[in-house]
Structure 1
Amino acid sequence: MAVVAGAALALSVVPLGLHTMLGCAVLDVGCAPAEPRGRLPELTRLTPVEVALSGGYVALGDSYSSGEGVYDGAGAPAGDGAARCHRSDGSYAPQVAGAHAFGGEAGFWACSGATTGQLLRGQHGHAPQVSRVSAGTSLVTLSIGGNDAGFAPVLTECIAKLPWSSACVDQDARVRQRIDELRPRLRQVLAGIRARAPEARVIVLGYPRPFPAAPSKTVTNLSAADQRWLNGVTRLLNDAVGAVAREFEQLITAFGAPGSVEYVDAYDAFDGHEVGQPRPYLNGLVVDLGELTVNARSFHPTADGYRRFAELVNERIAAGPGRPMNNFRLATP
């Protein structure tokens, strides 16, 4: 009490302007707020490009992603196990990897002939493609579904038929059923990717229309009606793949979750450059005359076609999903 009384007496004999200063010094009251010693960390929303490039890039999928159309068995294959997967440096995936400064490594694991099941379980004794995705992955590209729909045997049936036969379009019901059955399998693939890399952008590519929108002549034993039908089932396949991708994207958006699943509809991407056109972006029928077999490059993208695919992916990387990303960086001032 004596200290407090003494302080009160001292305060009573000093000019009024010094009361606050002395009160603060003696009694620790009336002190002005201290200047903050630092700012709190801030959350910064990442742009779509920042999300895509923040980690590693993983390219998954089937022959349209592996580079089947430009694969040369005599050259060095791209990556471990690439020979059996017909993985080529001419595919769009290495072009995308080389066009950007990713924060992590680029992995090229697409494999010719892959189905959705093989993406999940493995192929040719290799680890499943989805297992190559990790928490450090920031961008995944994927083309899948054509082999589930049986497009290779469908084309074979169309080309090998008698010229006047309707065997090509007679496959319609079976193909439609396989496309319907694809949807739950594709959901499993996308769920597996999201579980491993929940903050990544996943870009799903559709397939290009193989023939002109209004074909007028027969190409490699495919009548105009056959070509229209093949264009139509390609549209059906793309619609199924796109619908599943959009379902995932809508859920991500609704819950405000990070990452994205973005569908790129490539159906018209080769417009004016289809099979039978003067400068096609797809190989036509390629026959190995020595062995009298159909080369796997048939009806797969040419070098120009893969460059076009790379453009589509790079454009989507820059544009993003059309909404703000829910990926954030914690910035310390």
Structure 2
Amino acid sequence: MRVPRFLAAALLAVGSLIALAVPAQAAPGKYVALGDSYSSGLGAGSYTNSACRRSAYAYPQLWANALRPSAFSFAACSGAETSNVLSSQISAVTSDTALVTVSIGGNDAGFADVMTDCNLGSDSYCESRNREAQEFARTTLPGRLDAVYKAIRDRAPSARVIVVGYPRIYHLNGTCSLGLSERKRTAINQSSDVLHQVISGRASAHGFTFLNGQTAFAGHEICASGTRWINSVVWPIEESYHPNRAGQNGGYYASLRAITG
């Protein structure tokens, strides 16, 4: 059916008025992603940087793809500790930075080695190694986190800073019939809880927003009945116990979008 010329002109005019009344949303300002493998995307594959294991499916890249910030610096690197953030990542944060995300602290406390020891050692040894890591997290890690958080704020006084927490690795009393014992899974989750308490507490002390990784991944841990968002033991071995693509997307990215709007 042909639309009369005068009606088409009227519709065009109305459309133009609507376009003027509802301006396009401006792109957000500069975004900087700092941290370790949980932010670089180790475990999600398709690495754009082989040394740091920065994945095309990592939540920082997904957020940048969707929101199109005015500038994006993906500085997170697998294996990073707080000292690495201060020595080689923090320079990406500048005074015009609008948003910073950072996940850090797990490597300082040695949780990668703890996971290895729990896979190779006895229940009691696994529990002992987790207690050691938890003690470090309670006593030494807070000062290291403070140094990172202060450096971020000093370099970008007006930026919104979102501290990204770690998920629990296991769903206890879940669906797994093989793998680590329930005693080992419990000890590992207790360490996740300590990290959660310490990191969220220091983030709050600095006035930063905390993204709760335990909530973001709830129901999708190893041994949960839902879709698994965390790798168990996989090959390459370094991708074990890290979020997979679904976890980066449905866990971290979805939570970050909810926080940032």
Shorter-chain TM range is 0.7 to 0.9
Are 1:63 and 2:37 an aligned pair? yes
Structure 1: runs of 5+ lacking an equivalent: 1-48, 122-127, 250-260, 289-294, 319-333
Over the residues paired in the alignment, what is the CA RMSD in angstroms?
A: 1.8
Q: Is the 2:174–2:223 Cα contact (8 Å) retained in structure 1?
A: no
TM-score by length of 1: 0.67
Match of 1:292 in 2: none
Match of 1:306 in 2: 248
2:220 pairs with one of 258, 273, 282: 273
User: Which whole-Å CA distance do the structure 2 matches of 1:61 and 1:236 have between them?
Assistant: 19
Larger Rg: 1
Q: Is the 2:230–2:243 Cα contact (8 Å) retained in structure 1?
A: yes
Distance apart, 1:236 and its partner CA:
0.5
Distance apart, 1:101 and its partner CA:
3.9
1:119 alignment partner AA: V
User: Which whole-Å CA distance do the structure 1 matches of 2:31 and 2:176 have between them?
Assistant: 42
Match of 2:72 in 1: 106
Q: Is the 1:183–1:240 Cα contact (8 Å) retained in structure 2?
A: yes
User: Residues 85-139 of structure 1: CA distance to partner in whole angstroms, max 9, x if unpaired?
Assistant: 111111001111122142x211111000000011112xxxxxx111100011100
Distance apart, 1:225 and its partner CA:
1.4
Q: Is the 2:34–2:102 Cα contact (8 Å) retained in structure 1?
A: yes
Distance apart, 1:201 and its partner CA:
0.1
Are 1:237 and 2:237 an aligned pair? no
Q: Which has the larger helix fraction? A: 2
1:113 alignment partner AA: G
2:232 pairs with one of 279, 284, 287: 284
Structure 2: runs of 5+ lacking an equivalent: 1-24
1:138 alignment partner AA: A
User: Residues 236-277 of structure 1: CA distance to partner in whole angstroms, max 9, x if unpaired?
Assistant: 00110000010011xxxxxxxxxxx11111113222211134
Distance apart, 1:215 and its partner CA:
4.2
Distance apart, 1:218 and its partner CA:
5.0
Q: Is the 1:154–1:168 Cα contact (8 Å) retained in structure 2?
A: yes
User: Which whole-Å CA distance do the structure 1 matches of 2:131 and 2:247 have between them?
Assistant: 30
Match of 1:142 in 2: 102
2:133 alignment partner AA: V
User: Which whole-Å CA distance do the structure 1 matches of 2:243 and 2:96 have between them?
Assistant: 30
Structure 1 segment 148-163 matched on structure 2, within 5 A:
148-162=108-122
3-state DSSP of counterpart to 1:68: coil
User: Which whole-Å CA distance do the structure 1 matches of 2:245 and 2:143 have between them?
Assistant: 33
User: Which whole-Å CA distance do the structure 2 matches of 1:93 and 1:101 have between them?
Assistant: 11
Name the CA shift for 1:218/1:159 in 2 (closer, same or farther; >3 Å): farther
